Chains A and B, each alone.
Chain A
Amino acid sequence: MTVDRSAAFLFMIAGYVAGAIVALIAPSDRIARGATAIGAASGSVAGLVTALAVLATGDRFELVRPDMIAVAGGVAIQLDSLGALFLALVCSVGLFAAVYGFTYTADYDGRRSLRFFGLMFNAFLLGMSLVPCAANVFTFLFAWELMAVASYFLVMTEHESSDARAAGLWYAAMTHFGFVLLLPMFLIMAPAAGATAFVDLRAGASALPPAARSTVFALALAAFGSKAGVVPLHVWLPRAHPAAPSHVSALMSGVMIKLGVYGLLRVTSDFLGTGPAWWGGLVLAVGSLSALGGVLYALTENDLKRLLAYSSVENVGVIFLGIGAALVLQSYGLPALAMVGFGAALLHTVNHACFKTLLFLAAGNVLRGARTRNMEQMGGLIKGMPVTAMAFLIGSAAAAALPPLNGFASEWMVFQALLSGAQIAKPEVAIGSPLAVGVLALTSGLAAATFVKAFGISFLAMPRSDAAAAAREPHWSAWTALGAFAAATVVLGLFAPSAIAAMYRIVESVTATPRNVTGGGGIWLLSAHGVAAVSPLLIAVLVASVAFVAFASIRARGFDVRVADTWGCGRIRQTARMEYTSSAFAEPLRRIFSELYRPTEDFSVSVHPEARLIIRSITYTTRIVPWIEKALYEPVTRGARAIAASVRRLQAGSVHLYLLYIAAALMAALASAWWFE
């Protein structure tokens, strides 16, 4: 089947633009919602067709229009298989987020401008779709900023809450920080003024002296790391993702932060090529910090969406671990092993996009049903929302890297890449690589605990609030997205060997290293030299057959089932207050890692005024102090505030003072003529 790729690509842009414009001029909220969803969905389908056509054939798709905005270097589009993978991710999440959003935003009818929301939603998708297609600096930066600005407005959808406004401010500051670093990065690589096409940059980067190459790398790591949300640049992520509407959170967490990964891969493995080993070491360090830091903060979080956001920080850390391992291996001349690292990172990128979208959309259903994000007020949701609960369970199991789901496959591959470090006889690698393996192992374990808590506290046991008890499933159209991503999570897990082979093909086309690793022998997921092998499909078959045998034998022998109350330890009545809480679940780990959390505790008992032994209530408040964040960002914010306060004195509110400024400026300008005498 041949597809006219440029027609599909232009149709994608047309879809998003039409969605944005029609939503903006729609006569009613309902039509605005519909136009938003239809525009975004048709644009996404067209984008998906383009991406798949490129992925299937492997040859690039180009569209260069140097006459458009010629001052800035023209518009240049080029889609290779790496870009196509990310475009496919953006468009598949975008498609289902659009469908999901149609009913989700019905809550906003009449309360918020859905027209503006539709404009920004489509602009956000357009920006994200163009980033992996861009082939010169102008196009890339334009798409990058479109994505950043549109997502800023989406984060600010519920702008009357001060949390959302603070989140927007943090997000804007961090995204501009990244943008400021991007400009010099591109400029250093440009071989000559005006040569800003990516082809020129690739040629320019290879001619750079080593110090300049390292500067480019460091700038890329910081700039794209701030978008990807790695520790310590993650501060905006746990604020902005919960503040946005859930399907936007899914897009931000599932895809937008992945474009940071895309940028890093594009610059390091495509433009710069092989670098010194410390590049990889730095990426490994950043990845370890993010993986561990993200999961530790996720563990103690009681806000469901913030928990998911912190889990995204963790997963980006895992992706960076894969990239870091690959960079180290590449610098020691082991391209075949490096391939495993890059492939694992890409696979985890895809997998995380699937299960995190699933989790955020399920969390959106919970938010709609239980009217809260606080897990301490949920509980028992599985009774009212069985479909959502099932979806959340699948997502949680994947996030906890349980076989045979997809999270397991890619984390296993990252492990293999890290273990390959043993092939390098250098002391720093010999110490660093087992450390990274240890961090990843600890992270996986803590992630399991985190998601046991997230699922157990939210969905099981008894409802902790009336709203949770009354929670019901939303409109069935919300299930399509859940179903699609749950299926993708399972399929990508079962057929991970084929998926990793596809990733290897993509890496191969970008880094131009010959493929001498086998992706997988049929159903077996293999390490680079085939030393280790695991088959998710066989695990699934094993689990299924054990379950089937157990079930069948129970049915065959005919155990008689007696329905009765559980033994209640002598209690007369079971209430929700007797349940395990979210904070209590995390308490043991909070104690172990108390040096990191530095919890503040506040314990107060109020007694009866007459009899001190009669206790009326006990209040226990504890909160964790993100001290790393404080130590790093408080000086910056304090400085910015001080400058703003002193500048603000100029704005005294007096018209006369303002007129005096004008007069003084005029006189100063005239007086400056003396200098030119």
Chain B
Amino acid sequence: MFSQLVMLGSSGMLLTALIVLWRKHVPAYISAYRLQVWLLAGVTATVGYFASDWRLFAVAFVLVVLKAIAIPALLRTMLRRFGAQPEVRPYVNTETSLLIAGLLVLFAYVLARPWMAVTDLPTRDALPIAMGLLFVSLFVIVSRRKAITQVIGFLMLENAIALLAAVGTYGVPLLVELGVFLDALMGFLVMQIFVYQIHETFDTIDVEQLTRLRH
């Protein structure tokens, strides 16, 4: 029951990341992200319930407040500022993107094999999925042009790491967790400032324009 619930949540998180690869509109990304955070909070709470660790409930609560409510709200503000700029021409088209994402998940399974051999946690089946989510988020950052898409990719990368921590070691000490939250929030705010600056300078949030900065 425990491992099935965790698998369900993790797979859902991976699916929400794949949404970013085939949808083109930023509002869809934001809802995908919010959904992913809810799922992450669910997985964390499940682990907390079965491992009877009250601290994971606290983490799940902070996750919901910070990442499912505050950050999506900030993202919407950004969206209002720039208008809906769809991800028109990503570096890699949708079909290839999905193919690559599949390969990355496969690669994650291969990578996680030695790791899975040495643990006997009930959650260990979710480990390759968490790593796959990590790779897919990285791929989103690398292959998309709009700064806002990249920010969402980064946020999903954060989620992947949080998921890895929850299923791999039943969460890290609360202090570290809080540090990570603060880190993520600060990182997000800095990126927000950058996106505003890029928009102001180049009148677009297409990151490719930054190539012009070299000399």
Contacts and interface: CB of A to CB of B under 8 A. Distances in A.
A654 B207 CA distance: 8
Contacts of B213: 653
A491 B101 CA distance: 85
B114 interface: yes
B111 A663 contact: no
Nearest to B143: A656
Contacts of A653: 210-214
Nearest to A659: B142
Contact of B107 (A652, A667, A674): A667
A659 B207 CA distance: 12
B114 A660 contact: no
A673 B114 contact: yes
B91 interface: yes
Given A670-B111, A671-B111, A673-B111, A660 B142 contact: yes
Interface in B137-164: 138-139, 141-143, 145
B183 interface: no
Contacts of B131: 670
A274 B196 CA distance: 72
B208 interface: yes
Given A659-B141, A663-B138, A654 B208 contact: yes
Interface in B2-30: none
Nearest to B137: A663
User: Chain A contact residues (Cβ within 8 angstroms of B): what range?
Assistant: 10 to 19
Interface in A84-133: none
Contacts of B141: 659, 663
A674 B138 contact: no
A660 B144 CA distance: 12
B170 interface: no
A656 B107 contact: no
Nearest to B138: A663
Interface of A is mostly: helix
A651 interface: yes
A40 B204 CA distance: 55
Interface string A649-677: 00111111001101100110011011001
Interface in B113-136: 114-115, 131, 135
Contacts of B135: 663, 667
Contact of A656 (B111, B114, B115, B207): B207
A677 B118 CA distance: 11
A651 B214 CA distance: 9
Contacts of A667: 107, 135
Contacts of A677: 114
A218 B173 CA distance: 58
Nearest to B215: A653
Given A673-B111, A674-B114, A663 B214 contact: no
B94 to A, nearest CB: 17
B137 to A, nearest CB: 10
Given A663-B138, A663-B142, A666-B138, A656 B91 contact: yes
Contact of A655 (B114, B115, B207): B207
Interface string B195-215: 000000000000110111110
Interface residues of B, number: 20
Nearest to B112: A670
A409 B152 CA distance: 80
Contacts of A663: 135, 138-139, 141-142
A657 B115 CA distance: 30
A654 B107 contact: no
A674 B112 CA distance: 10
Contacts of A654: 208, 210-211
Contacts of A671: 111
A677 to B, nearest CB: 5
A655 B210 contact: yes
Nearest to B108: A670
B210 to A, nearest CB: 5
A37 B7 CA distance: 73
B153 to A, nearest CB: 9
Nearest to B211: A653
Nearest to A671: B111
Contacts of B115: 673
Contacts of A651: 214
A382 to B, nearest CB: 50
Contacts of B114: 673-674, 677
Contacts of A660: 142
A40 B91 CA distance: 60
A479 to B, nearest CB: 49
Contacts of A652: 211, 214
Interface in A599-624: none
A651 B215 CA distance: 12
B197 to A, nearest CB: 14
A656 B209 CA distance: 11
A655 B206 CA distance: 11
Contacts of A673: 111, 114-115
Interface string B166-197: 00000000000000000000000000000000
A667 B137 CA distance: 13
Interface in A622-656: 651-656
Contacts of B145: 656
Contacts of B207: 655-656
B142 to A, nearest CB: 5
Contacts of A659: 138, 141-142
A667 B211 CA distance: 25
Contacts of A656: 91, 142-143, 145, 207-208
Interface in B69-117: 91, 107, 111, 114-115
A280 B115 CA distance: 65
Nearest to B209: A655
A663 B138 CA distance: 6
A653 B211 CA distance: 5
A261 B208 CA distance: 56
The listed residue with most A CB atoms (<10 A of its CB), out of B107, B111, B142, B211, is: B142
Contacts of A666: 138
Nearest to A674: B114
B202 to A, nearest CB: 13
A662 B134 CA distance: 13
A666 B213 CA distance: 26
B145 to A, nearest CB: 8
Contacts of B211: 652-655
A673 B207 CA distance: 34
A455 B48 CA distance: 90
A237 B208 CA distance: 46
Interface in A534-593: none
B55 to A, nearest CB: 28
Contacts of B138: 659, 662-663, 666
B66 to A, nearest CB: 25
Nearest to A658: B142
A239 B53 CA distance: 70
Contacts of A670: 111, 131
A653 B215 CA distance: 9
A662 B115 CA distance: 22
Nearest to B111: A670
Interface in A153-206: none
Contacts of A674: 114
A656 B213 CA distance: 14
28 contacts: A651-B214, A652-B211, A652-B214, A653-B210, A653-B211, A653-B214, A654-B208, A654-B210, A654-B211, A656-B91, A656-B143, A656-B145, A656-B208, A659-B138, A659-B142, A660-B142, A662-B138, A663-B138, A663-B141, A663-B142, A667-B107, A667-B135, A670-B131, A673-B111, A673-B114, A673-B115, A674-B114, A677-B114
Lowest 4 CB-CB distances: which A-B pairs, in order?
A: A653-B214, A663-B138, A653-B211, A659-B142
Interface of B: 91, 107, 111, 114-115, 131, 135, 138-139, 141-143, 145, 207-208, 210-214
Given A652-B211, A656-B91, A656-B207, 5 more contacts: A653-B211, A653-B212, A667-B135, A671-B111, A674-B114
